[in-house]
Amino acid sequence: MNLTLALFLEHDWIDAVNASSTIVIALFTVAMFFVVKYQLRASKDIERAWVMPKLTKDPMVLLLGENTSIQGTQKSVTTTASLLLTLKNDGNGPVWVKQFFARLVLVDSLDQLPKKPELGKGDDQHWYPSPFVDTEDTRFQITANGSQVAKEKVVAYGKITYLDKFREERFSTFGYLIESEGSKVERLETHPEYNRNT
């Protein structure tokens, strides 16, 4: 009887050790799954393209210009900015630009800007360069209703949507303050949504 009880207790102990080791192996397997997943994502981020947009004054023309038109008794004034967009790839592999949106707004204060860039179909610049690895640039003009003299701040902002070599869609936003004298273009550093890269 004692021998049967001893074998029964020994068998329970072996079952407990086996169950515990199975749980440890299962937890280790789950942990390894997340580690490998994180490593794959990290290596993908290292190997993919990262597009950094930069706006500067187009050296060929005036930075800001105004146009006044009169139709009947209606007088309308518009402000046009002539800019140079440079896209720099700080990552690896080619970039395919899918869309380039840009908008010009005249505001009294930078606090009047929306929290996130508001862009629509009318802001599409219809620029589709060939795939590139290093840098690509384009000259473009954007127009806003109103006079640059009547408002304190002239702001140009936009969004670049592109594909990386893994065929994943990414985007970069940009926002710049244009001095009303038309001499300087400065990044909006206090607006993080206008300087975002995914």
What percent of the chain clears pLDDT 70, i.e. is strictly above it? 84
Which of 56-65, 93-102, 151-160 comes out lowest in average pLDDT? 56-65
148 contacts: CB under 8 Å, gap ≥ 6: 64, 66, 79, 106, 154, 180
For the domain bounded by 49-194, which CATH number is listed?
A: 2.60.40
Q: What is the pLDDT of residue 92?
A: 86
**How confident is the prediction for the chain on average, in pLDDT?**
85
Q: What is the pLDDT of residue 7?
A: 47
Residue-wise burial string across 71-90, b where 16 or more C-beta atoms lie within 10 A, e elsewhere: eeeeeeebbbbbbbbebbbe
pTM, 2 dp: 0.77
pLDDT at 163 over 90: yes
At 12, the pLDDT band (50, 70, 90 cuts) reads: low
Q: What is the pLDDT of residue 29?
A: 80
At 182, the pLDDT band (50, 70, 90 cuts) reads: low
Q: What is the pLDDT of residue 98?
A: 96
pLDDT at 36 over 70: no
Domain boundaries, the chain: 1-47, 49-194
Q: What is the pLDDT of residue 10?
A: 57
